[in-house]
Amino acid sequence: MHIILGALMIALGTYIVIKTEKVLANFGRSAMFEKYLGSDGGSRLGYKLLGLLIIFIGIVTMFNMASLFFNWMLGPLIRAGQR
């Protein structure tokens, strides 16, 4: 099941990265992207970065390494909260 879910996430992320103009036309400009990523083209860059993040999470999910990755990434925060 995780292989199918990961493949779907990779396909969705790839679609967002390749068809950024279509995504921008459907969802419009994002105020947060425009504020933090530049006034001209910030939404396009934001959608591309979101697509790349979805692709990365899809790869991690596909290879069933999500729990290992998130434990590694959030481990210091979890250990600091236990003190």
- pLDDT digits 0-9 by tens, 46-83: 999 999 999 999 999 999 998 888 888 888 888 776 76
Parent domain of 23: 2-81
pLDDT in the model for residue 26: 94
Instruction: Compute the residue count for the chain.
Output: 83
Q: How many structural domains are present in the chain?
A: 1
**pTM score:** 0.82
Residue 11, pLDDT above cutoff 70: yes
In the structure encoding, which two tokens stand for residue 20, read together? 């950024």
In the structure encoding, which two tokens stand for residue 41, read together? 């083209």
Question: pLDDT digits over 15-47, tens only?
Answer: 999 999 999 999 998 888 888 888 778 899 999
Distance CA 19, CA 24 (A): 9
